[in-house]
Structure 1
Amino acid sequence: MGLKGFVEGGIASVVAGCSTHPLDLIKVRMQLQGENQAPKPNPAVHNLRPALAFHPGSVRQVVPPMPQAAAATMVPARVGPIAVGVRLIQQEGVTALFSGVSATILRQCLYSTTRMGLYEVLKQKWSDPNKGTMPLSRKITAGLISGAVGAVIGNPADVAMVRMQADGRLPPAQRRNYTSVVDAISRMAKQEGVTSLWRGSSLTVNRAMLVTASQLATYDQVKEAILKKGVMRDGLGTHVTASFAAGFVAAVASNPVDVIKTRVMNMKVEPGAQPPYSGALDCALKTVRAEGPMALYKGFIPTISRQGPFTVVLFVTLEQVRKLLKDF
């Protein structure tokens, strides 16, 4: 059963990850909105010299009013997920929606396969042999452990995925232009050191623990409750309902950590210069100070828009794969 759980979880995760990749990409772009974009003086306004107006007996300065267009450019506008998606397609093409998909596949193979498989192993060991179920507290514990182990293994692919998804928003001269996840990981290791592959790993681990515990535990708990009360039988309706509940809980729990993780992983460290953030806490404090507390929920709409479908596809596919492999 041990190896089988890893195979089932891996197949379902890859299918779910690829099918919702564009939503994940939009989420990453939204989470990076406003970063390093504090209002700056507009040169057109800054260079306006006060005009001198002469009046009998005095000399005073008359400052021309600031042009409305110039004033408007001082504060960067924030746009929603649809606008981000449309602008992305217009500027980078439809194929840009799948930027970093190779990293997504590798991430699902490493991170999700590990967490799903390990959760099933712990579930088998900790379940009541008579009832075939385990208490919610044990489900959460199994999710926390599984998520942590999976995140450590999958972090290099996670860093590569974030960078590949974010690359198109940079000016052409500053883009990294990774050709694949293998190119991204090898270049990071050579140019920034092997440790860069685990940049933001504490955040990845924390997020993975929250997501796995909330997602898997909620799915199992809701599914058991539906079947126990006889609301629906064990079929597609039950799987979809439990999946949506799991996706919502996971999105609410993980979004703040996800925003900080995205920014820390994406930061560009120039040789000899101080990094933009010294760590996760520093990034969180700077983000809240510059953009307000709700900045930690940037990208929540695409997060829930992705987490819902991702979780549904994940568990519906998982249930079908289990049926196909039940005799193995």
Structure 2
Amino acid sequence: MGVKGFVEGGIASIVAGCSTHPLDLIKVRMQLQGEAAAAVPPQPALRPALAFHAGGHTVALPHHHDIPAPPRKPGPVAVGAQILRSEGAAALFSGVSATMLRQTLYSTTRMGLYDILKTKWTQENGGVLPLHRKIAAGLVAGGVGAAVGNPADVAMVRMQADGRLPLAERRNYRSVGDAIGRMARDEGVRSLWRGSSLTVNRAMIVTASQLATYDQAKEAILARRGPGADGLATHVAASFTAGIVAAAASNPVDVVKTRMMNMKVAPGAPPPYAGAVDCALKTVRSEGPMALYKGFIPTVMRQGPFTVVLFVTLEQVRKVFKGVEF
């Protein structure tokens, strides 16, 4: 029973991850917007707008309209179009090999472990699992899965972000294996777990909110409409609800995680961020509190379809393996 849950969850996760990879790439690029400004806060120059003469001297008064407004950040459609223009269509799948490895390690572990805990605790609780126990199962499963899959997660973020850098500064990883090998060789094995505390925290939040919400929403729909409603429409409605909840809960942690994983540390120089809290504070001070929700629209655009594909595929895979024990 346990192995079966890992296989079913792994297949569904890989299908969902690969099919929504371009949306995830756009989300990462948007989360990195304005990052350079975090190190040096902009100093707007004031141009004199009004002047008057007093005592033989000319006095200039600055006008608030002369303070240059910060440029508007491009939205997800504009970011996608920019990638297509400057890097080509293939760039939308930059890092897809890392996504496949990440889903194989992280999502297979979290889905299988959640299934084991849910089944065990349901049996112990007389066939019913309350919401708080589902959340607890998600927290445990997400944390373990993230710890296992962190190296692939770091590689994926870097490969997705590489195209935004000047040619001379790009890492140009050939594959996820090349990325992990070079990171271990050039930056030490510990670099493979850079941002792991954030990855674990995010994964716990995502898994608990995503899987628990899906199960709870599905149960609520079936309780209202009856067992006969256990079909595609119910799966889509429950999974889309789960995707929105997971995106809203995890986005701030995801922004900090992305920036921590993507940062470049020059030999002998202090890192741009001393840690997750330092990264969050610098981001908020430099770009405002809503910077922690950068990439939220593409996060929802990615998390919604990802969660729908994940659970719809999972339900179909379960039908295929129904009655099969391994």
C-alpha RMSD of matched pairs (Å): 2.4
Task: Please say if residues 39 and 75 of structure 1, whose CA atoms lie closer than 8 Å, have aligned partners that are also in contact.
Answer: no
In the alignment, which residue of structure 1 is the partner of 2:16? 16
* Residues in 2 aligned to 1:167 and 1:125: alpha-carbon distance in whole angstroms: 43
In the alignment, which residue of structure 2 is the partner of 1:36? 36
Task: Please say if residues 28 and 161 of structure 2, whose CA atoms lie closer than 8 Å, have aligned partners that are also in contact.
Answer: yes
Query: Does 2:223 correspond to 1:236?
Result: no
Equivalent positions of 1:1-328 (< 5 A) are 1-37=1-37, 38=40, 40=42, 75-128=70-123, 132-230=127-225, 233-328=229-324
* Residues in 1 aligned to 2:210 and 2:156: alpha-carbon distance in whole angstroms: 21
Deviations 1:276-322 (A, max 9, x none): 00000000000000000000000000000000000000000000000
Q: Which runs of 4+ in 1 moved over 6 A?
A: 58-62
Residue type matched to 1:150 in 2?
Answer: G
In the alignment, which residue of structure 1 is the partner of 2:51? none
Deviations 1:251-275 (A, max 9, x none): 0100000000000000000000110
Deviations 1:75-96 (A, max 9, x none): 4431100000000110000000
Task: Please say if residues 41 and 286 of structure 2, whose CA atoms lie closer than 8 Å, have aligned partners that are also in contact.
Answer: no
Q: 1:241 to 1:59 in 2, by over 3 A?
A: closer
Task: Please say if residues 27 and 299 of structure 2, whose CA atoms lie closer than 8 Å, have aligned partners that are also in contact.
Answer: yes
* Residues in 2 aligned to 1:211 and 1:130: alpha-carbon distance in whole angstroms: 25
Q: Structure 1 length normalisation: TM-score?
A: 0.90
Determine helix, strand or coil for the equivalent of 2:79. Answer: helix
In the alignment, which residue of structure 2 is the partner of 1:54? none
* Residues in 2 aligned to 1:214 and 1:152: alpha-carbon distance in whole angstroms: 18
Larger deviation, residues 245-254 vs 122-131: 122-131
* Percentage of matched positions with identical amino acids: 72
Q: Structure 2 length normalisation: TM-score?
A: 0.90
Q: 1:238 to 1:81 in 2, by over 3 A?
A: same
Residue type matched to 1:32 in 2?
Answer: L
Deviation at 1:210, TM superposition (A): 0.2
* Residues in 1 aligned to 2:233 and 2:159: alpha-carbon distance in whole angstroms: 36
- The runs of 5 or more residues in structure 2 that have no matched partner are 48-55
* Residues in 1 aligned to 2:126 and 2:143: alpha-carbon distance in whole angstroms: 28
Determine helix, strand or coil for the equivalent of 2:8. Answer: helix
Deviation at 1:128, TM superposition (A): 3.8
* Residues in 1 aligned to 2:249 and 2:42: alpha-carbon distance in whole angstroms: 34
Deviations 1:169-219 (A, max 9, x none): 000000000000000000000000000000000000000000000000000
Task: Please say if residues 138 and 207 of structure 2, whose CA atoms lie closer than 8 Å, have aligned partners that are also in contact.
Answer: yes
* Residues in 1 aligned to 2:36 and 2:6: alpha-carbon distance in whole angstroms: 41
Larger deviation, residues 226-235 vs 236-245: 226-235
Task: Please say if residues 136 and 221 of structure 1, whose CA atoms lie closer than 8 Å, have aligned partners that are also in contact.
Answer: yes
Task: Please say if residues 34 and 76 of structure 1, whose CA atoms lie closer than 8 Å, have aligned partners that are also in contact.
Answer: no
Task: Please say if residues 22 and 98 of structure 1, whose CA atoms lie closer than 8 Å, have aligned partners that are also in contact.
Answer: yes
Deviation at 1:129, TM superposition (A): 6.2
Deviations 1:131-180 (A, max 9, x none): 63311111000000000000000000000000000000000000000000
In the alignment, which residue of structure 2 is the partner of 1:55? none
Deviations 1:27-72 (A, max 9, x none): 0000000101256579xx99x9xxxxxxxxx89799xx9xx9xx86
